[in-house]
Structure 1
Amino acid sequence: MTTGRLLIVMNAGAGHSQAEASRAAIRAVLDAHGRAYQFFLADSGSALPQQAALAVQQALAEGGAVIAAGGDGTLNTVAQAVLPHSLPFGVLPLGTFNYFARAHGMPEDIKAATEALLSARIQPVQVGLLNERIFLVNASLGLYPTLLEDREAYKAQYGRSRLVALWAGLVTLWRARGRLRIVLEHDGQRSKLRTSMLFVGNNALQLAQLGLPSAQQVEQGALAALALRRTGLFTVLLLLLRGAIGQLHTADKVLHFTFQRISVRPRLPYGRRRIKVATDGEVGWMSSPLVFAVAPQPLLLLCPATMETPA
């Protein structure tokens, strides 16, 4: 259990009124227990890295723990700053799906999650890497980054809910036409693949919900790759239905395997060297080749005292 000050990084600009209410709830719990803390507030997502770096500097100076309050994207940004310094890292889930927090036993209720932090114990947990960028839940290229961009646009217009996220996904699939041609290098072998999406998972809970047997291997130190073979809209919708009921592994249009490192070379239009990717819900551009790998060092996660998390 860590006894240092809790240095809490939060995107105060995302859902402003909700962020204020969450901050008040966190304060109430910590004040009631006499626990020292400090907030590092970003007014937008682009300001999060700077606030995370300030929190890390403070933690290094005084021996505290850095806490990320937000969804998986916020957690990713803060963890990126924390990981190289081997500092204790805690999470307070405020997102839509909260896969990382849920997989490691953190309650989704903000008061209960703050209470859990007070008696949490450090457990090393696996982190994925896509080139120089870490991912806690998943990383992808192809259709999935487009789904995420459209989802955020719909959330901005209609609100942040899982129903809005589902509707945005259906609209994206209806409009999607692109296909990827990629070369995979895995265990010394090269193979060509044509797919609408390559998805790499580092979260056993998300993979188990999709019905993929690779969830267990992820808990034992691997990453899991999933690719949709070249398919039309109707087939993709059927695959989504299988995923929703946890039977994606039975679909013959899905390629899935586990690994610790793969290199991916997408075929890009002439003159273009970068491709759109997503890490934990955040979309950006990276240069080819793309290397997915298990990070050499674990994240020192503050988990509830009753939760045992595999290394």
Structure 2
Amino acid sequence: MTPTATSASSAVPAETGRTLAADAPFFIVMNAGSGRRQSDATRTVLERELGAAGRRFDLRIVDDPRKLASVAREAAAAACAQEGVLVGAGGDGTLCAVAQAAHEAGCPFAVLPRGTFNYFSRDHGIPADPEQSTKLLLDARAWPVQVGFVNERMFLVNASLGLYPRLLEDREIYKRQFGRSRIVALWSALSTLLKPHRHLRLHIEHEGSTTEIRSSTLFVGNNRLQMEQIGMPDEARALERGLLVAIAPRPVGRLMHLWLSLHGAAGRLSDSEHVVSFTFGRITVMHPSKKWKRIKIATDGEVARLPMPLEFRVSDKPLLLLKPEPAVAEANRS
């Protein structure tokens, strides 16, 4: 399968910001997995910045990750009822779970970045500094942004199957042992890539035709910053046209996988002849064996099992995100 310039029927409409009511309350859902100290620090900043501005907020700290989605839905319902904003505080996985609740309810969404990589917030120019991101809540407008889906599961940054979900599971084991940092994440990735892995045979339906690919992983991206960092600028620009990007390494050995990863880390992945990429608005992924009923899927760092076939698509409805004005957001991207 070769790269294609597909036109999207579900692209995010031309950007127009929505101004919120000056007294709109904030319903903040935070994953306590980041640590009690960070939770206390977040509450202190909220009380200082929002309290000084006379803005109401409701902070809901989730101690059990299994309850994150249900707490987010409850907070989204409250936000809709009071014409408020649903806010996610955490890394990309937490933000995605809370964002899906906002997307389903139709209320504005905002983020307080608390993760390791923070691809979503960085791509939209939202400051990582707790005080700055909290102050942004007070006067930012809500802008439509693109989100992707695999079946009924939403993703803000990326979704994948094959080797990548295994890499994420191994990374969590390393984090529990050595703590959360980019160095630990990279070391874990190198360790996983050097382990034996199998190649998947996948049938991909795209615009009326079916293509078979063999690869260790299928990666679907929805984040300009991530695409640019691995050296795929053309694919990054395709996201601005309402498309998603699929990337799959050709069948190669472990050392070549490691080499490809290093190439990506150096921002030169598009130079490699061992990688297939294409853009799309919607694809269906199937496995030729009927025994494959469910498969592990990673969405924004969270792993789950989803039923086959898999449908990857751009959502027809954008997410309304509180973020800086376009020129400021672009200047803040890093």
Say yes or no: TM over 0.5: yes
- Please list the CA deviations of residues 216-257 of structure 1 after superposition, one character each: whole Å capped at 9, or x if unmatched: 010121000000110111111111111111110010000011
Q: Normalising to structure 1: TM-score of the pair?
A: 0.96
- What is aligned with 1:209? 229
In the alignment, the residues of structure 1 paired with residue 119 and residue 300 of structure 2 have an alpha-carbon distance, to the nearest angstrom, of: 10
- What is aligned with 1:297? 317
Q: Give SS of 1:13's match.
A: helix
Structure-to-structure mapping, 1:1-311, within 5 angstroms: 1-2=19-20, 3=22, 4-212=24-232, 213-268=234-289, 271-305=291-325, 307=327
Q: Percent identity?
A: 49
| TM-superposed deviation, 1:110 | 1.0
Q: Give SS of 2:216's match.
A: strand
Which residues of structure 1 form unaligned runs of 5+?
A: none
| TM-superposed deviation, 1:26 | 2.7
Q: Give SS of 2:262's match.
A: helix
Q: Give SS of 1:175's match.
A: coil
In the alignment, the residues of structure 1 paired with residue 193 and residue 328 of structure 2 have an alpha-carbon distance, to the nearest angstrom, of: 38
Runs of 4+ in 1 over 4 A off after TM superposition: 306-310
Is the 8 Å Cα contact of residues 184 and 192 (structure 1) preserved in structure 2? yes
- Please list the CA deviations of residues 197-232 of structure 1 after superposition, one character each: whole Å capped at 9, or x if unmatched: 100000011001111120001012100000011011
| AA aligned opposite 2:255 | F
| TM-superposed deviation, 1:308 | 6.9
- Count of residues in correspondence between the two structures: 309
Q: Give SS of 2:69's match.
A: helix
Deviates more, 1:283-292 or 1:45-54: 45-54
Is the 8 Å Cα contact of residues 123 and 309 (structure 1) preserved in structure 2? no
Bigger RCO of structures 1 and 2 (CA < 8 A, at least 6 apart): 2
| AA aligned opposite 2:251 | R
In the alignment, the residues of structure 1 paired with residue 321 and residue 328 of structure 2 have an alpha-carbon distance, to the nearest angstrom, of: 11
In the alignment, the residues of structure 2 paired with residue 72 and residue 59 of structure 1 have an alpha-carbon distance, to the nearest angstrom, of: 21
| AA aligned opposite 1:164 | V
Is the 8 Å Cα contact of residues 150 and 312 (structure 2) preserved in structure 1? yes
Q: Normalising to structure 2: TM-score of the pair?
A: 0.89
Which residues of structure 2 form unaligned runs of 5+?
A: 1-18
